[in-house]
Structure 1
Amino acid sequence: MATQTTAVEPQDPFDDPVTSNKMAVRALIPLLITFVLGTLCLQGFNLVFQQVGADVGAPNQASLITAFPSIVLGIVCFIYGSLGDFVSLRKLVTVGLVTLFIGSLFGFVTNYFFTANLWTVIIARVLQTAGEQVAGSAFLVVATKYLRNDLKVIFFGLFTAAYQLSASIGVFAAGMLSSIAWQYLFLIPSVTILFLPILLKTLPSKSGNGQKVDAFGFVIFGFATAFLTLFFSYMAWWMLLVSVVLYVAFGFYINKAANPFITPAFFKNTRWLRAISLILVFYFVNYALSPIFNAIGTNIYHMTTTQVSLHIVWAFVVAAVVGTCSGMIIGKIGIKAGLVTAGTLMFVGWTGAAFCVNSGFVVLTMWACVFYAGCGMMYSPVVSTVLGTIEKDESGRGVGMNDLAMNVSPSIGIAIIGSLLGSNALAGHSITGTTGVAANYSNLLLIGSVTALLGLIVFFVFKKKIYEGNHALENDKANA
C-alpha cells in the first residue's frame, strides 16, 4: 500500500515560543553592542564638539555638531520603533548598519585625509546617529515581542546599563582621542558592520503585520517631532507653534485616513495613558543633575569641569552596575516593587543632595550615586509596565512612543531648569538652610526631589488601573 508524503513548509522559528527566545537572544547581543558603540560615539562628540568646531574653523557654530544629530535622534527614535510593526526587522537593521558604516567612513576619510569641514562633520554625525538608533529600537522591539516576560526585564536592564556605561566610557574615549585626533571617534562604531551576517540569520524576516507603511502619517508626525525638538534646542516659539499645528493636523489625519500607522484607539487606551504618564514625570528632570552639579562644583567649590566629571562618572558607573542587576532584582521583588524602589532612590538622591550643597563635593557625589542607582533600576520596570498595557502587535509603536516620551520630557525639564540655573532666580533662601547662590542650587535640587515624589504619587494613584490585565505581570513573582 503506497504512502503519500506531504511537503511540510519550514516553520518560522519566531512562531514558536521556545525557538523564539533562543533566536531573540542571539540577535539581542550584537544589537546591544551596536547601540553601545553608537552611544559611545555620541557622548564622545558631545564632550569635544567645541574643540572640533575650533579645528574646522567654525567655533561659533560648534553647537550644530550636537544639535543636528539630537534633532535626528528625536525623530528616528519614534519612527524606527513604530516601523518595527510594519517592516521586516531584518531589512530595517540592514539599512541601519549600512548607514552607520557609511557615516563612519565618510566622517573619518573626509575630515582626516582632506580639509576638515563643519558640514562634513555634521552630515557624518547625522548618518551615524540615524544608523545606530536602528539597533536601539530593534533591540527593544525584539525584546518586547519575542522574549519571555522573565527575560524581558533582564534585557531591559542590560539596555539601560549599556547606555549608562557607554556614556561614561565615551567621556574617557573622547578625552583620550582628542589629544591624538578627534577624527578617530568616527571609526568607533564602524566595526558593527561585522555583525550584519549574524543579524541576517537571527532577526525575523517577516514584514510586521503585512500592512502598507503609512508614509504620509510618518512624515507629518516626523516633522511635528522635529520642530518640537528644535524648539527645546533654540527656544524659538514659532517652532513650538508649528509643532502644535502639525500634531493637530496629525490628529485629524489619523481620524480620517483608511489605514493610519497609529489609530485613534491607541491614544484612547486609558491604561496606556496612565502608564506613559509615569515616564513623563519620572524622566522630567533626568538631564538636570549633571549641569546643576557642574555649576555647584564651579561656583562653590572652584573646581574645573574636568574635575567635576571625574566625580560624576562614578554615578554613571553605579547606574550601569544597578542596570545590569536590575533584571535579577525585578525577578525577585516584582515589577511594582522595583518601580517603587527606583522612584524612592531617585527621590532620596535629589533630597540628600539638596540638603548637602555645602557639605563637600564628595558627599554630593554619593547622593548622585543614589539618584543614578534609581535611574539604572527605573528603566526595566517602567518600560515593562507601559508596554504591558498594549497588544503585542502594537509593541513597535509602543517602543516608539516610549522613546519619544523619554526624549521630549527631559528636554522640557532641562529647558526649565537651565533657565533657572543661569538666572539664579531661586537664590537667596532655601528650606535646606542654604543662602545666596547655594540656595539657588538647593532649590533646584528640591524641584527634582518633588518631581520624583510626584512620580511615586502618580504610580500609587493609577496602579490598580494600570495593572489590570497587564501582560507584563504574567510571571511577576510579586504579583498577588
Structure 2
Amino acid sequence: MTKAESHFSHKLTRSERKKIIFLMCSVLLFSVMNGTMFMIAVPAIADYFSLLPSQVSWVVTGYIILYAIGALMYGKLADIYPLKTLLTVGLSLFAVGSIFGFFAPNFLTVVIARMVQATGASSILALAFIVPSRYFPGERGKVLGIISSTMAFSSGIGPVVGGFVTGALNWQYLFLISALVLFTIPFFRVWMPEEKKQEGKVDIPGAVFIAIAVATLILFITLVQWWCLGVSIVFFGIFFWRIKTSDIPFIRPDLFKNVPYRTTIIAGFFAIVTMMGQMFVIPLMLNEVNGLTPLYIGFVLFPGAMIAAVVGRLVGSLTERKGSKLVLYIAFGLMIVGFGLISTFVGSPAWIVSIVIITSFVAFPFVQTSTADLISEVLPDHETGVGMGIYNLVNFMAGAFGSAILGKILDYNHDFRLNPFSIAEGSAVAYSNVFIGFVGLTVLNGLFFYAVFRKRGKKGLN
C-alpha cells in the first residue's frame, strides 16, 4: 500500500492533481506574502499609532509565535484528520483575522487580528509540504519544487506589494488582500479528496507544553528576556518527560532516533539560519549603505526572487531524477558562491547588488525542495505529518534565531574586513563580514551533512 492509498482509496486524475496544486499554490502565495508585506508596513503602523519600536514589533513577533506553533500543530493533526477539514478551518481563521484587522480601531486589535491570522495561515504552510507526500507519491519532488518556487515568488513580491499598497493606500488594506483566501474555501471543499479520520488521539497536555516552550523560546530570541528562556527550558523538560511517559505522546520519542531525519532537520536549521538571515540583513544593508526606501528595496530583491521561482520548478524535476541529497549539495554550493559574492560587492550600486544576490536567492528552492523531499523519504507514513510539522517549526525557529543574532552582530561596527576581496568601506564592512560568516557556516553545515550520510550509507538509510 502506498502512502497516498493509506489515506484515501481512490486515485487522482491528472485534472484533479492540477486543481489541487493550483489551489495550494494560490493560498500559499497569500500566506507567505502576508508575512513579508507587514514587515514592510511596520514603520507605517508605528507612525499611525505613535508607537515605539518595541511596541510595534508585536505585529511581527505575535504573528511569528502563533505561526510557528501552528505549523507544528497542523502537522500533527494531519496524521489524524482529513486535510480538507484542516484547510477549511485554517483558511476560515486566516480570513476572519484579515477582515478583523482591516476594521481594527486600535493597535491591540491589530495585534489580535495578526495572531488570529497566524493560527489560520500556519495551516497553509504546514499542509503544503504534506500534500505532495500524500497525494503525489510518484511526483513528490516535482510538486515540492512547485511549492518552493511559489514560496520564493511570494517572498519577492511581498515587499513590493506591501510597499506599494502602504504608500498608495493604507497599511490596513494589506489585511484586505489576505482576506481574499475566503473565496478559495468552496473550491477546497469540492476539489480536495475525501478522506476518513485516522485512528489516534492528540495528546492535549503535550501540545500545551510544547506550545508554551516554543512561544517563550521565540520571545527570548526576539526580545532577549531571560525569564522567557528559563520558562522555555522548564516546559521543554516537561514536554520530553511527557512524551516518554504518555501512551499517546504528541511526538513519538523514536522520531528523534531516526538519524537521517535528525540530520536533515539540523542541516536544514543552519541552512535556513543563513537563507532567512540574508532576507533580514539585505534590506537593512540597502537602507543603511545604499540609502534606499522600502519600495526600492523591494525592487532590488524582486529579480532574484522571480528567478528563484522559475528555477524552483526545475529543481523539482532534478530532485525526482537525481535524488534529494545531490540537490542539497548543489544548494550548499550555490549558497557558498552567492554569499561570497554579496560579501565582496557590498557597497556597490543597487543594480549590481540586485544581480549579485540572485545566486543565493536561487539556492532557496534547492534547500526547501531537497530537505522536504528527504524528510518525506525517510519517515514512515504515520509520522509524515508531525515530522513535517517539526521541520516547519525548526525553520521558523531558525529564522527568528538568525535575525536576533544578526541584529546583535550588526550593532557593533568595525573596520576589519574578513573578506580580503571585499570593496566595502565604513558601515558596509559589517555587512560584508556577516556574509563571509555565512560562507563559513555553510561549508561546515555541508561537511556535517556529507559525513553523516556517508556513514549511514554503509549501514543503510535508517
TM-score (norm 2): 0.90
Please tell me whether residue 154 in structure 1 is matched to residue 142 in structure 2.
yes
- Tell me whether 1:135 sits opposite 2:135 in the alignment: no
Matched, 1:74 2:68: yes
Task: Please list the CA deviations of residues 18-50 of structure 1 after superposition, one character each: whole Å capped at 9, or x if unmatched.
Answer: 438875553342122112113223221221122
Cα pair 1:177 1:185 within 8 Å, conserved? yes
Are 1:34 and 2:34 an aligned pair? no
Residue 403 of structure 2 is aligned to residue 409 of structure 1: no
**Do structure 1's residue 285 and structure 2's residue 255 form an aligned pair?**
no
Query: Which amino acid counterpart does residue 320 of structure 2 have in structure 1?
Result: G
1:99 to 85, 93, 97: 93
Offset of residue 402 of structure 1: 0.7
Instruction: Out of 55-64 and 71-80, give the one that drifted further.
Output: 55-64
| Structure 1 counterpart of 2:378 | 389
Equivalents in 2 of 1:271, 1:296: separation in Å? 37
Q: Which amino acid aligns with 2:46?
A: G
Check the 8 A contact 1:78/1:397 in 2, yes or no.
Answer: yes
Can you list the C-alpha shifts for 1:252-310, whole angstroms capped at 9, x where unaligned?
11111111122211112222212222202211222222443344434444444544432
Query: Which residue of the other structure, out of 228, 234, 251, is the alignment partner of 1:239?
Result: 228
Tell me if structure 1 keeps the 8 A contact 2:416–2:429.
yes
Label 1:410 to 1:403 Cα distance change in 2 as closer, same or farther (>3 A).
Answer: same
Pick from 29, 36, 45 the counterpart of residue 43 of structure 1: 36
1:311-348 Cα offsets, whole Å, 9 max, x none, are 12222222222223221232344323221111100110
Segments of structure 2 that go 5 or more residues without pairing to the other structure are none
Work out whether 1:62 is the aligned partner of 2:56: yes
Q: In the TM superposition, what is the alpha-carbon distance from 1:13 to its structure 2 partner?
A: 10
Return the alpha-carbon distance in structure 2 between the equivalents of residues 469 and 16 of structure 1.
Answer: 32
**Contact 1:283–1:410 at 8 Å: present in 2 too?**
yes
Cα 1:22/1:402, change in 2 over 3 Å = farther
Tell me if the contact between 1:32 and 1:136 (Cα under 8 Å) persists in the aligned partners: no
**Cα displacement (A) at 1:204:** 4.6
Residue 111 of structure 2 corresponds to residue 122 of structure 1:
yes
Deviations 1:205-238 (A, max 9, x none): 4455311221111111111111111111101121
Distance in 1 (CA, whole Å) between partners of 2:295 and 2:129 is 34
Contact 1:107 / 1:121 at 8 angstroms: preserved in 2? yes
Asked if the contact 1:89/1:207 (under 8 Å) is kept, the reply is no
Whether 1:327 aligns to 2:321 is: no
Identity rate, percent = 24
The secondary structure found in structure 2 opposite 1:86 is coil
Unaligned runs of 5+ in 1: 1-11, 472-480
Deviations 1:101-157 (A, max 9, x none): 22222222x23xxxx3111211222112211221222222221222124x2112211
The one-letter amino acid of 1:97's match is L
Aligned-partner residue type, residue 459 of structure 1: F
Deviation by residue 1:181-222 (Cα, 9 ceiling, x = unmatched): 322221213232232233223435445531122111111111
SS of structure 1 residue aligned to 2:12:
helix
Contact 2:202–2:250 (CA<8 Å) still a contact in 1? yes
Moved more, 40-49 or 188-197: 188-197
The structure 1 residue matched to 2:360, chosen from 347, 371, 378, is 371
Q: Shift of residue 370 of structure 1?
A: 0.4
Cα gap change, 1:15 to 1:75, in 2 (>3 Å)? closer
1:312 match: 301
Q: Considering only aligned residues, what root-mean-square deviation do their CA atoms show, in Å?
A: 2.5
Task: Tell whether the 8 Å contact from 1:285 to 1:414 is kept in structure 2 after alignment.
Answer: no
Alpha carbons 1:53, 1:118 under 8 Å: kept: no
CA distance in 2 between counterparts of 1:399 and 1:223 reads 20
Q: Is the partner of 2:274 in helix, strand or coil?
A: coil
Kindly indicate whether the alpha-carbon contact (under 8 Å) linking 1:326 and 1:377 is maintained by their aligned counterparts in 2: yes
Q: Which amino acid aligns with 1:226?
A: A
Partner SS, residue 172 of structure 1: helix
Q: Number of matched residues? A: 453
Alignment correspondent of 2:445:
455
Report the Cα distance in structure 2 between the residues aligned to 1:176 and 1:98, rounded to whole angstroms: 27
Change (3 A) 1:22 1:307: closer
Matched residue type, 1:27:
I
Which residue of 74, 81, 84 maps to 2:78?
84
Determine the structure 1 residue equivalent to 2:432. 442
2:262 alignment partner in structure 1: 273
Task: Give 1:448 shift.
Answer: 0.5
Larger displacement relative to structure 2 (436-445 or 126-135): 436-445
CA distance in 1, matches of 2:316, 2:196: 30
Q: Is the 8 Å Cα contact of residues 129 and 372 (structure 2) preserved in structure 1?
A: no
Q: What is the alpha-carbon distance in structure 1 between the residues aligned to residue 99 and residue 269 of structure 2?
A: 37
Summarize the Cα distance change of 1:421–1:268 in structure 2 as closer, same or farther, 3 Å threshold. Answer: same
Q: Deviations over 1:429-476 (max 9, x none)?
A: 4342556544322221111111221222122212235667669xxxxx
The residue number in structure 2 matching 1:7 is none
8 Å contact from structure 1 (residues 103, 128) kept in 2: yes
Q: Distance in 1 between matches of 2:14 and 2:216?
A: 39
Match of 2:343 among 354, 360, 370: 354
Please say if residues 129 and 144 of structure 2, whose CA atoms lie closer than 8 Å, have aligned partners that are also in contact: yes
Q: How does 1:298-309 map to 2 (within 5 A)?
A: 298-309=287-298
